[in-house]
Amino acid sequence: MAEKYEINQTEVWDGNYAAAHALRQAQVDVVSAYPITPSTPIVENYGNFVSNGYIDGEFVMVESEHAAMSGCVGAAAAGGRVATATSSQGFALMVEVLYQASGMRLPIVLNVVNRALASPLNVRGDHSDMYLGRDAGWINLDAFNAQEAYDMNLCAFRIGEHLDVRLPVMVHQDGFITSHTAQNINPLQDEDAYKFVGVYQPVEEMLDFSKPVTYGAQTEEDWHYEHKARQHSALMRSTRVIDEVFADFKALTGREYKRVESYMMEDAEVAVVALGTTVETLRQAAKELRKEGLKAGVIAPRCFRPFPFDQIAEVCGDAKAVCVMDRSAPGGAMGAMFNEISAAILATGKRPLVTNYIYGLGGRDFSVDEAKRIFKEQKAHADAGHITTQIQQFSGLRGPRLGFFESKRS
The DSSP string of 260-305 is EEEES-SS-SEEEE--TTHHHHHHHHHHHHHHTT--EEEEEESEEE
Q: What's the farthest any 2 CA atoms get from each other in the chain? A: 72
Q: Are strands 390-394 and 353-358 parallel, antiparallel or unpaired?
A: parallel
Q: How many helices (H) and strands (E) does the chain have?
A: 12, 16
Segment 96-106, tens digit of pLDDT: 999 999 999 99
Q: For residue 175, how far is the Cα from the chain centroid? A: 12
Residue 361 has pLDDT above 70, yes or no: yes
Segment 113-164, tens digit of pLDDT: 999 999 999 999 999 999 999 999 999 999 999 999 999 999 999 999 999 9
Q: What is the CA radius of gyration of the chain?
A: 21
Give 209 or 298, the one with higher predicted confidence: 298
pLDDT-based confidence at 2, cuts 50/70/90?
low
Confidence (pLDDT) at 267: 96
Coil, strand or helix at 32:
strand
Segment 4-39, tens digit of pLDDT: 777 778 999 999 999 999 999 999 999 999 999 999
Confidence (pLDDT) at 407: 65
pLDDT-based confidence at 3, cuts 50/70/90?
low
Length of the chain: 410
Q: Which residues pair with 301 in a beta bridge?
A: 260
Share of the chain above pLDDT 90, in %: 90
- Specify which of 8-12, 324-328, 395-399, 405-409 reaches the highest per-range mean pLDDT: 324-328
Distance CA(86)–CA(16), nearest Å, equals: 11
Dihedral sign for Cα atoms in the order 54, 56, 62, 66: negative
pLDDT-based confidence at 400, cuts 50/70/90?
confident
Coil, strand or helix at 401:
coil
Q: Which residues pair with 403 in a beta bridge?
A: 393
Segment 218-229, tens digit of pLDDT: 999 989 999 999
Distance CA(327)–CA(357), nearest Å, equals: 8
Query: Which H or E run includes 154?
Result: helix 146-161
CB atoms near residue 36 (< 10 Å): 21
Segment 259-301, tens digit of pLDDT: 999 999 999 999 999 999 999 999 999 999 999 999 999 999 9
The beta-strand segments (E) located in 200-295 are 260-263, 270-273
Segment 30-70, tens digit of pLDDT: 999 999 999 999 999 999 999 999 999 999 999 999 999 99
Distance CA(65)–CA(68), nearest Å, equals: 5
Domains and CATH numbers, the chain: 11-253 (3.40.50.970), 260-406 (3.40.50.920)
Confidence (pLDDT) at 350: 78
Confidence (pLDDT) at 347: 84
Segment 225-259, tens digit of pLDDT: 999 999 999 999 999 999 999 999 999 999 999 99
